[in-house]
């Protein structure tokens, strides 16, 4: 049970809806609620399938298919998240703009790079190693469901409180997002350390 809770905490911190809401702030402001919700669900389904595949194949995908060490992927993923977390803490939402996909492909934009990224893929692989397939699928599903639900709620609040309190909501989300970025940076350092340690031990 503790392994499942640890895996959930890791996934939820990486799929932080507060941080993702900043990443998708332009989409939240400019898209229709129905279009946004559908794209979010599609992006979550894409992410779920990808995470389950990586959790099932584990390190074998990197070692036997790509012929690279999983530790190298951890280090590179950690560096990417470290840069994003560092820049976000000091620059805010503007730093996320360069990582967005094309606005016309909302599901893909939502899925990449924050739902499906080096950090979450690494988390899927590590979760697949520690838990059986059904437990892994349950953890991933619950995490994506909660993140998706909270993002839909944020969209609803933003649309319905737009005229009176939208500035306060945006400010609150920005502050919480900056704090969450500290956690992302911490996880990034841990990924790098684990990758380096794995290479040294091998």
32-86 pLDDT tens trace: 888 888 888 988 999 999 999 999 887 788 888 888 888 888 888 788 878 877 8
Residue 202 resides in a domain: no
Q: Nearest to residue 114, comparing CAs of 145, 81, 152, 91?
A: 81
Residue 29 resides in a domain: yes
pLDDT over threshold 50, residue 99: no
Residue 201 resides in a domain: no
Q: Each residue of 117-169: pLDDT tens digit?
A: 777 888 888 888 888 889 999 999 999 999 999 999 988 887 887 666 666 76
What pLDDT, on the 0 to 100 scale, is given for residue 13? 79
Residue ranges making up the domain that contains 126: 2-194
CB burial string 104-118: b at 16+ within 10 A, e below: eebbebbbbbbbbbb
**What's the alpha-carbon Rg for the chain, to the nearest Å?**
17
163-183: average pLDDT: 71
What pLDDT, on the 0 to 100 scale, is given for residue 184? 76
CA distance 105 to 21: 17
Residue 128 resides in a domain: yes
- The answer to whether the CB of 195 falls within 8 A of the CB of 75 is yes
What is the number of domains present in the chain? 1
- The answer to whether the CB of 22 falls within 8 A of the CB of 93 is yes
pLDDT over threshold 60, residue 97: no
- Measured between its terminal Cα atoms, the distance across the chain in Å is 29
Which residue would you say has higher pLDDT here, 144 or 184? 144
Query: In the numeric block, which tokens belong to residue 115?
Result: 């739902």
CA distance 76 to 153: 33
Residue 95 resides in a domain: yes
Residue 199 resides in a domain: no
What pLDDT, on the 0 to 100 scale, is given for residue 139? 93
Residue 148 resides in a domain: yes
What pLDDT, on the 0 to 100 scale, is given for residue 95? 52
CA distance 51 to 126: 11
Residue 166 resides in a domain: yes
**pTM across the whole model:** 0.74
């Amino acid at each position: 049970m503790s392994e499942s809770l640890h895996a959930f905490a890791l996934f939820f911190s990486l799929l932080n809806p507060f941080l993702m809401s900043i990443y998708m702030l332009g989409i939240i402001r400019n898209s229709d609620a129905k279009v946004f919700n559908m794209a979010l669900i599609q992006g979550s389904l894409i992410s779920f399938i990808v995470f389950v595949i990586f959790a099932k194949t584990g390190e074998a995908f990197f070692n036997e298919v790509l012929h690279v060490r999983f530790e190298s992927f951890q280090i590179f993923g950690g560096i990417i998240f470290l840069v994003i977390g560092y820049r976000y803490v000091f620059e805010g939402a503007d730093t996320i703009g360069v990582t967005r996909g094309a606005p016309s492909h909302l599901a893909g934009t939502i899925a990449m790079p924050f739902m499906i990224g080096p950090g979450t893929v690494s988390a899927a692989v590590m979760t697949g190693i520690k838990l059986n397939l059904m437990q892994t699928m349950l953890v991933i599903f619950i995490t994506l469901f909660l993140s998706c639900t909270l993002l839909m709620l944020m969209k609803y609040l933003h649309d319905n409180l737009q005229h009176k309190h939208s500035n306060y909501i945006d400010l609150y989300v920005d502050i919480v997002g900056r704090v969450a970025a500290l956690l992302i940076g911490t996880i990034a350092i841990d990924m790098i350390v684990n990758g380096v340690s794995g290479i040294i031990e091998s």
